[in-house]
Structure 1
């Protein structure tokens, strides 16, 4: 099948499996997609594609890592840099050395350099897989930031280790000095290239949009989607990490977005576009993993013959050892940094054995591991076959499946046993930010006395009437957002909990009524179009206005329902 047709088919199947997963919530979406890919390619007449690791890394990985770098909270990322770096650098080195010697001991026919190459392939966690599995499981927020930061940065260290393990196999020469020098160049150079490209794009975008405004929003969003590919390609051409370049470009772009509060259309289009890109490309990554499984397993088992059970046992043993090494490093090498972050107030959750176990199980391997394994050359410099390449690819694939399955089963069980955390810090901060915004809006409506005396009295009266209505609306929202008064204070004595609860329930009813009227307005507009009393352009414009009103209204209703102690909206308002 042609590459273009394959990509289109994979993207379509990714969307369809995303819909199907809504009906099969017990099985994580990545496992469904991998299984579907395997089923599609298993028969002889099935979908067979030649997997080009370089093309795969170029097409699918940069936008996903760019989006992760763009979305990850930078405050927590930089506040927790110590445990993140210990995992992204120290754990990779610990894994390559410890697991490499263990693999060579378990499989003596595999040369030590090849064993190190396999350990390097499986050492980095996969950002796409980690976020896909842990997103809706209730992982504590700061722990999730550490895991995301680790998976964004450890690709460089793992791929550098792989590069030198392969070079040692091909040439028989190994130098720690060369490893350190090349790692610094590849990692720091990738971050520098990505940051420079992201900064250059931000300056160019600011220059254009400050003159044109939101008129160029669509073009700017398209350029933003292409930015991670540009960062990756330039990084690879320069000889540094294209993966880290894409991540750094995403981080830099996010910093630039902080000064673009007035570009509403561009921001809304960007959010919608990236949500679609992430969903489609996430599905494509796991489907492509599944499409490779039958051929990898078939070729390896054909060579092994009746010893297939031994290969399966080796894959399980290596995967288990990988998680044990991760648990040891988290316990001995990272726990101190986590305790310090907790005592300094940078990490809300208290480190515990259960949290360490959850972080261990979240060490999921994915697309980068498979791409790294398949990038190993077929032949040595003298023309002989690369020793144990098929076995290496098989064991790396087994590690991916093992970590995905273990995380899918084990993480919900472990996270369920964590103590309740109360209101998450992010929710509390969001509530207080909403409160500050409402208070600032009320303060801005106070009319300056000198201005009021100089203005037309009729205008002043109209202004004060309008300001009174708006202030009342903001006061309702403040009632929902303010912290509960301490018992015994005048505020607590003035209003009983039942009075506060009833007032909040009335606000919920009001918001639900507003949402219902928006739906009625929209239905009436479509009826006008069906009756040919307005054209399509007018319909899109009018419905767009209602949609813009409904998005914040739904969010406000969700906050109001939580404040009023209600779980879900009535069926009619879904």
Structure 2
């Protein structure tokens, strides 16, 4: 333990420093982390990194999925649910099927079941990678919402494929009617357990005398509990975490106070960043050991790399084909929701962009490492080292090649140039003006002339009247605490109702709600 602890601390330091370097170089930090892990692995004397396959899902997936569910815009997911669902389920299955057929044909000894196992592992694109890469380029909010929603749901569909393929490899048979019943139970049971336990957690936050530290501790425990309960009854732990996380995310203002929300945001952001960073480093650190396993099986490195390149090409091609199929179907059946671009020719470049956003990462690594070393009968799991190596090659190639070239594809293709979307600054100004008007009407309507004579209340009303007319964001000098807190709660209700309007960007509304939380914390600190 004492020998591995300095190495783990050094990994955290490396993650932080590499993220700083990536930001300075304007490239996605997962790319640097993977390459750095690969380079560091060749340093002699370092501890061998081994991950327990039985714990990999339970340690990594619940917090990553829960954080993604809290971050995604549920309103945008509902708006684009057709294309999100098609990419998260149909495209994932088509991709896994394509990988299974190609692997069965080109890789000696690979059965269809092993091919589906590999396809389930490498089919889901990684949300962290695409988010880190698109941070440096401008894409429409609708496209970003589709990518975020897809990445949240495709993990569940790919891991369901992975689980069924794992059973088929272990037992040597696949009973369709039992698989159909299990598939139905995994989906309905996972979603039902997530919603039920999510509601229980919200009630616990409301009714127990919690403070910010205990609220944050509960939120860290909850995704693990959701996943564990669902897995105990053989349903989908991934869907339980996603559905429970979405439920709690949409009601976060009803059971968490401003202190818990602000502090929890910082804790979760740091926790997920370190977790993701360590995983991407492990991707590089694990590769030399997998190479040794391949050589012990008599598989040359050149041959294994060729298999990895082949599977990567299949993944990219399958995603591009699926993107074109989705666009054509949309233009035929739902032309009103077809992507809007500055020219029709550029519209046909959007599937190329969507196809090129399929970077693989954490979920694929977790699934590959979760393959058991032996079967139930004690025999070695067939082609485990080769599957792991192909997965690592896919992650490396998609991160480095697609990740580095995606900004160039967007800029050179000019597909989002002059995109007919309302400027973000204009939308923010409209939102602020509506919020100021609502606040002034709230103060004017809540208190009559006698109450306005109370100390500080008239000044507050005059302040917001001036703020309504002014363009700058002045601070209130001497607020009346009770009235001010009631006013902030009224602003939250107003913004929450406004968020139901599809015309308003939820990201901007969330920014304003966060500013309201900060303002409430400022007042609380002044009057402690």
TM-score normalised per structure 1? 0.74
The corresponding residue for 1:327 is: 320
Stretch deviating more after TM superposition (328-337 or 138-147)? 328-337
Aligned length: 474
What are the equivalent positions in structure 2 for 1:501-540 lying under 5 Å apart?
A: 507=472
Aligned equivalent of 1:219: 214
SS at match of 1:446: helix
| Structure 1: gaps spanning 5 or more residues | 478-506, 515-547, 553-574
Aligned to 1:23: 24
| Correspondences of 1:445-524 after superposition (within 5 Å) | 445-446=443-444, 451-452=448-449, 454=450, 459=453, 467-477=461-471, 507=472
User: Does 1:121 pair with 2:126?
Assistant: no
Q: How far 1:118 sits from its partner (Å)?
A: 1.4
CA distance in 2, matches of 1:185, 1:34: 37
Is 1:397 matched with 2:395?
no
- Deviations 1:198-229 (Å, cap 9, x if unpaired)? 11111111123xxx5xx712211221122112
Question: Does the alignment pair 1:257 with 2:255?
Answer: no
CA offset digits 1:177-210 (Å, max 9, x no partner): 23322222222222222222211111111123xx
**268, 272, 276: which one aligns with 2:266:** 272
Aligned partner of residue 259 in structure 1, secondary structure: helix
Distance 1:338 1:199 in 2: 39
Measure the CA separation in 1 of the matches of 2:126 and 2:466: 49
Take 2:333 and 2:291, find their aligned partners in 1: how far apart are those partners? 45
Deviation at residue 358 of structure 1 after TM alignment: 1.3
Q: Give the Cα–Cα distance (whole angstroms) in 1 for the partners of residues 185 and 140 of structure 2.
A: 34
Q: Aligned equivalents of 1:297 and 1:10: distance in 2?
A: 22
CA RMSD for the aligned pairs?
Answer: 3.2
- Report the counterpart of residue 85 of structure 1 in structure 2: 85
Q: Does the 8 Å contact 2:359/2:403 carry over to 1?
A: no
- What is aligned with 2:442? 444
Alignment of 1:315-354 (within 5 A): 315-333=308-326, 335-337=328-330, 343-344=336-337, 352-354=347-349
Separation in 2 of the partners of 1:106 and 1:23? 42
Alpha-carbon distance in structure 2 between the residues aligned to 1:120 and 1:462: 63
Q: Does 2:304 correspond to 1:311?
A: yes
Question: For the residues of structure 2 that align with 1:116 and 1:461, how far apart are their CA atoms?
Answer: 72
In 1, Cα distance between equivalents of 2:316 and 2:244: 31
1:338–1:201 Cα change, 3 Å: farther
Paired with 1:550 and 1:78, the residues of 2 have a C-alpha distance of 26
Matched residue SS, 1:153: helix
C-alpha separation in 1, matches of 2:235 and 2:451: 64
Does structure 2 conserve the Cα–Cα contact (< 8 Å) formed by 1:142 and 1:348?
no
- 1:286, 1:367 within 8 Å by CA — same for their partners in 2? yes
When residues 31 and 335 of structure 1 are mapped into structure 2, their CA distance, relative to the original with a 3 A threshold, is same
Distance 1:178 1:96, change over 3 A: farther
2:25 is paired with a residue whose SS is: coil
Residues 551/420 of structure 1: CA separation in 2 closer, same or farther (3 Å cut): farther
Query: SS of the counterpart of 1:125?
Result: coil
Work out whether residues 291 and 301 of structure 2, in 8 Å CA contact, stay in contact via their aligned partners in 1. Answer: no
Q: d(CA) in 2 for partners of 1:467 and 1:174?
A: 71
Task: Please state whether the residue corresponding to 2:108 is helix, strand or coil.
Answer: coil
The answer (yes or no) to whether the contact 2:156–2:238 under 8 Å persists in 1 is yes
1:365 counterpart SS class: coil
Q: Distance in 2 between matches of 1:434 and 1:129?
A: 32
CA distance in 2, matches of 1:354, 1:439: 43
Unaligned 5+ runs, structure 2: 478-514, 520-528
- Residues 340 and 426 (structure 1), Cα distance of their counterparts in 2 relative to 1, 3 Å cut: farther
Larger Rg: 1
The change in CA–CA distance for 1:68 and 1:344 in structure 2 (over 3 A counts) is: same
Describe the shift of the 1:391–1:55 C-alpha distance in structure 2 as closer, same or farther (beyond 3 A): same
SS in 2 for 1:409: helix
Aligned-partner SS, 1:288: helix
Closer, same or farther: CA 445–392 of 1 in aligned 2, 3 Å? closer
Alpha carbons of structure 1 residues 238 and 54: separation in structure 2 relative to 1, 3 Å: same
The CA deviation string for residues 60-114 of structure 1, in whole angstroms up to 9 with x for no partner, is 3211210110111111111211111111111122122222111111123323322
Q: Which residue of 1 aligns with 2:404?
A: 409
User: Structure 1 residues 464, 371: closer, same or farther in 2, change over 3 A?
Assistant: closer
C-alpha distance in 2 between matches for 1:216 and 1:465: 33
Asked if the contact 1:126/1:368 (under 8 Å) is kept, the reply is: yes
Contact 2:191 / 2:240 at 8 angstroms: preserved in 1?
yes
- Looking at structure 1, the residues matched to 445 and 371 of structure 2 have their Cα atoms a distance apart, in angstroms, of 71
Shift of 1:446: 3.3
How far apart, CA to CA, are the structure 2 residues paired with 1:28 and 1:196? 37
Change (3 A) 1:274 1:338: farther
Question: Within 1, Cα distance between the matches of 2:312 and 2:205?
Answer: 46
1:438 shift after superposition: 0.5
Question: Would you say the 8 A contact 1:11–1:281 is kept in 2?
Answer: no
